[in-house]
Amino acid sequence: MTPTIRSIAPDELPTFVEVMTTAFLERPDVANVAAELASLWDVRRCRAAFDGGTMCGTFRTWETELTVPGGGIVPGAAIAGVTVLPTHRRQGILRALVAAEHAAIRERGEVVGLLYSAEYPIYGRFGYGPATRIARWTLDTGEASFHGTPSGRVEIVRPNADTAVRMVAVFDAVRRSSPGEIQRRDYRWEYDLGRETAWGDRWKGFVALRHDRDGTVDGYVRYHAEPDPARRPRARLVVDDLHATSDEGYAALWRFVGQVDLVDTILADHRSVSERLPWHLVSARAARMSEPGDGLWVRLVDVPRALEARSYEREGTIVLEVIDPDDGGGRTRLALDVGPDGAVCRRTDRSADLTVHVAALGAAYLGGTRLRDAVIADGHDEHHEGALARADALLRTADEPWCSTFF
């Protein structure tokens, strides 16, 4: 079949939600969910696939920003709600939805597409690569003794609009200097602080702010408790979100949650694999990392703009031939020149040093994934000896990128 792909009309939002949740094996109150989302989602960026008059696939995006190495910011499209009904699998619907959205991304002038992959094998063929990693951290509070002397103060506050303003200020300061982080939508903070939702149970927990010596808020932690019926009154404390603009604030917030009474275990999911927590502990073994996995996937849609936007920790020049079926003839030759004044990336007719797939370049773009590893899936052609090693070194960064925002 050849599906019809188009943006939905406002009155089609309930059907969009029905199709999306059916494919995700969820069964919410569709009418109430759609009514709630009507004022939150931009239906112009909700695309659907139709088999005749039947909606059979969904694809949603919204505008965001991605921080890249060096603190540059590039505009991007955050992608979610990508589904195809079980009755319409293997009929080219997902490919048609992706092609339509990639064309729209180019038309809007966005540089990257961003997503979290529900199933790992799906998105590489569309040019996406896993660019960040995430993991679970577990802290044993009985063994958690911290280095140094606490400074500043930590204050428990009500999770209300005023608190959200202070949290947003901290998060925006952090994300603008942290490669891999993205801009969060305003209503995301409302849900994070307990807004009622038709999707299910609302968040119920606590927020603590950290004030530095001058009284300025330089960090926050949002957390909730999970009681353990077998060990009452002991409970597990789950860190939902923790950010700080200073090392002192970061350590103070972990110290705070580690010393909450009636808690023997701290769990923190979706954290960086390079978390600094163990180094703040007298016994680093009190903090254990587990379940490492892929985080944010990046698709370079405008490759020259993307490569020019970030900084590099080494100087060099290389000509890349990028395989991208979405871009013209499928192969684009780019000259990347990196010097002390920044990077310049232009199309060129010079002979290529290295041919790589755009998915591998997306995976390596933020500096955390080795290009030499990312090329394994789709292969590469090295036209000059050592070109892969040079490109790998050029893209690599000392700091691990991380996206703390799941969507």
Find all residues with CB under 8 Å of 250, minimum gap 6, and list them: 219, 242, 244, 276, 280
- The percentage of the chain sitting over the pLDDT mark of 90, rounded to a whole number, equals 95
Scan for tokens 């239906």, then name that residue: 43
* Type of residue at 235: A
- SS3 of 166, please? helix
Q: Which CATH number fits domain 4-110: 3.30.300.30, 3.40.630.30, 1.20.120.450, 3.40.190.290?
A: 3.40.630.30
Looking at residue 328, its pLDDT comes to 67
The closest alpha carbon to 157, from 111, 101, 219, belongs to 219
Rounded-to-integer distance, Cα 15 and Cα 220, Å = 39
- SS3 of 318, please? strand
CATH code given to domain 135-292? 3.40.630.30
Q: Quick check: 145 and 277 in contact, CB under 8 A?
A: no
Looking at residue 78, its pLDDT comes to 98
pLDDT over threshold 80, residue 231 = no
Tell me the catalytic residues: 123, 407
Structural domain boundaries in the chain:
4-110, 135-292, 303-395
Q: What is the pLDDT of residues 248-304, one digit of tens each?
A: 999 999 999 999 999 999 999 999 999 999 999 999 999 999 999 999 999 999 999
Q: Quick check: 308 and 336 in contact, CB under 8 A?
A: no
**10 vs 38, 43, 45, 118, 392, CA distance in Å?**
7, 6, 11, 27, 46
Residue 226: other Cβ atoms inside 10 A: 11
For residue 276, is it left (φ>0), alpha (ψ between -120 and 50) or beta?
Answer: alpha
Using CB atoms within 10 Å of the CB of residue 115, give its burial: 0 to 12 exposed, 13 to 18 middle, 19+ buried: buried
Bigger pLDDT: 66 vs 151: 66
Looking at residue 340, its pLDDT comes to 87
Rounded-to-integer distance, Cα 206 and Cα 214, Å = 24
pLDDT over threshold 90, residue 234 = no
For residue 161, is it left (φ>0), alpha (ψ between -120 and 50) or beta?
Answer: alpha
Q: Quick check: 206 and 223 in contact, CB under 8 A?
A: yes
Choose the weakest-confidence range: 175-179, 234-238, 324-328. 324-328
pLDDT confidence tier of residue 228, bands split at 50, 70 and 90: confident
Residue 161: other Cβ atoms inside 10 A: 10
**394 vs 123, 149, 256, 317, CA distance in Å?**
25, 40, 40, 9
pLDDT confidence tier of residue 355, bands split at 50, 70 and 90: very high
Same fold, 4-110 and 135-292: yes
Rounded-to-integer distance, Cα 251 and Cα 138, Å = 15
- SS3 of 353, please? coil
Q: What is the pLDDT of residues 100-156, one digit of tens each?
A: 999 999 999 999 999 999 999 999 999 999 999 999 999 999 999 999 999 999 999
Structure tokens at 164: 């959200």
Mean pLDDT of the region 224-241:
87
Write phi, then psi, for 115 (nearest 5 degrees).
Answer: -160, 165
Find all residues with CB under 8 Å of 25, minimum gap 6, and list them: none
Q: What average pLDDT is seen over the chain? A: 96
Rounded-to-integer distance, Cα 91 and Cα 325, Å = 19
CA dihedral of 283, 288, 292, 297, whole degrees rounded to 10? -60
Structure tokens at 297: 């996937």
Mean pLDDT of the region 41-50:
98
Please give the angle made by the CA atoms of 405, 406 and 407, to the nearest 5 degrees: 120
* Helix 13-23 and helix 30-37, axial crossing angle in degrees, nearest 10: 120
pLDDT confidence tier of residue 1, bands split at 50, 70 and 90: confident
Looking at residue 108, its pLDDT comes to 97
Using CB atoms within 10 Å of the CB of residue 350, give its burial: 0 to 12 exposed, 13 to 18 middle, 19+ buried: exposed
- Topology of domain 303-395, CATH: Nonspecific Lipid-transfer Protein; Chain A (3.30.1050)
pLDDT over threshold 90, residue 22 = yes
Mean pLDDT of the region 160-181:
98
Looking at residue 326, its pLDDT comes to 85
pLDDT over threshold 70, residue 55 = yes
